[in-house]
Structure 1
Amino acid sequence: MKTPRRLRRPRVLIVGCGDVGLRCVALLRHRAHVFALTTQPERCAALRAAGASPLVGDLDARRSLKRLAGLGATVIHLAPPQKNGDDDRRTRALLAALARPRRRLLHNPSETCRRWLHAGSAWGKRQARIVPAVPPGPRRSLPLVYASTTGVYGDCAGALIDETRPVHPVNARAKRRVSAEQQLRRATARGQIRASIARIPGIYAANRLPLARLERGTPALADACDVYTNHIHADDLAAILVRLTTHGRAARVVHASDDSRMKMGEYFDRVADAFALPRPPRVTREQAAQQLEPVLLSFMQESRCLLNQRLKRELRIRLRYPSVEHFLRTAAQCR
């Protein structure tokens, strides 16, 4: 009997299927069977409507991840680490779930005894009846694409950097990302997976612009003390992540960044102009420390400009929006 076409398609598991994950689903659903891990059962209907098969599970509860074992899927790992500690426990839980062998019960008693006696096992009859579902022998490591962050570099004082720059995480968020990258590199070295790492800067899209911030009049840094930031449109990011599933190199880092080189305040000014909003007031760093929340202020402590040659040369990506300015011109025409 011929295997149904749906079962013959490659499988892709998206872990952390939020806005960017759904954009990945839209790119994959016609050529792969897409699974989406969600912690919220109420999201299952929306995920099905988007073209994904939902799996309810929580990276903070390892027992809920049993269905991932033996799935045999390429993984796009978009889930952020937990909010405390320096170790990314969620990536650790995911790798453990993917590594767990799927087992089945043999229905032929004579075959069970033969395997048990041949192995010379002292485990007993119960253990002898359980064998791996996948036949022994070498297996091809499945790709895993990890959405990391450019925050792992720390402050580079506005320098132009490529992927060979040593990581220097300063805050706990970045340290957890470095932990995840290290775990994935070790799993790749063991042959468990074949991980590719995308280091991602600020993500924007029509639904991810700082319009509320501009309407509130939240200040930006004066140009003399402002920091360089980097950007990527959410659609381009989804295309990069999907491309990495087939063309990413093992343990290789790629900057998922566009060609923009602008300071944070300039970015806010451009968005404000495009949407006819007041430009944000400019303040000194000392004034910002008094007026802004610590989390918001932390993003103003690091400055760097990203090179993206690997993105273009190795993945051969052509960005839909090569710069923020390209997108804003399109957005202004659609208003």
Structure 2
Amino acid sequence: MNAIPLVALSCCVALLMAAAGGYLVRVRMPRPPVGVYTSGDIAVLCVGVVLAPLLYLKLPGVVVSALFGLVLCLAVQFTLAPVCSGRWAWGLALVAAGATAACSGHPVAVRACTDVMLAVAVVGVANLWTQSGMRSAHAAGLAAVLSCYDLVATTLTQVTANFVTQVQGRPFAPMLVLTGGSPPVAVGLGDLLLLVLFPLVAAKAFGRTAALLAAAVGVVVTSAVSALFALGALTAGFPLLTVLGPLIVLQHVLWSRRLGGERTTARWRSGTDSPTPRPDRLQPDPALTSALSLTPPTGLAPGTWIAIADGQILGTGNSPGLARRAARQRGTDTLPIVRQL
């Protein structure tokens, strides 16, 4: 296989990562009213990704192209909306979709127009997920599930091969395609989205160094697979996520353990460098520690409640309320800590 398109594919992946990173730094997307990401949201997303190709294989190719065209048009619009006005964003998205559909029958033009729309959509979707609060743990979980699915769909079954055959050459195909042929020099939408997404999530969760490492790992994996195709060691579709997914999980685990957690979106927006400490690393309250370690005087019956403030026992009683009341009667302005003997 010609090495030039393969090198160009790795360069395109790197450029998309850089574009997405620049978008993350300079553009703040409006947060959709969906709350925060949970494990259930990631599970639903994984189910959708797994079932979508199976559904599309049951539909006519024209219908599949129309569905992907609608999705790409919407993605291009919400990606461009924060950059220009909403009307301009809609206009550009509709023009791009119309031009892509009009090029049907001209393979090179279809690939070029679809690639541009796909690149803009991936930048927007990755930023939307990142800026909406997707955590590194969520991205790692998504990568783990999709790596297993990619292995099954691409290597153990013909799902991916049949899907590529169905959409190849059509407008709005969910692949970044540089050349035709069998196999084409291309990277699938799911692979491309995770390649671009994880460096953004790593930047938010762990900082610039983690983001650069994630981007470098993605480019190296893409380049290594391209080199295997150039050398003839690979001749059919390769499940890229089976390599990339475990590396994403490994990076998440290493950075989480090294930094003690990951930054929340709020801490990232405020410019806070340190991540939110994990519960097992929170420091105990000194006042509570002092109250628990205080040795009570002799003579108090077991079961008595004592109210402690400023390192002293200020009140006692047969219930927490009576102990606090006794402390207030002594004129303390500090809210006492109550414990039972």
Give me the TM-score of the superposition, normalised by structure 2.
0.24
Question: Which has the larger Rg?
Answer: 2
Compare the two structures and name the one with the higher strand fraction: 1
Give me the TM-score of the superposition, normalised by structure 1.
0.24
Compare the two structures and name the one with the higher helix fraction: 2
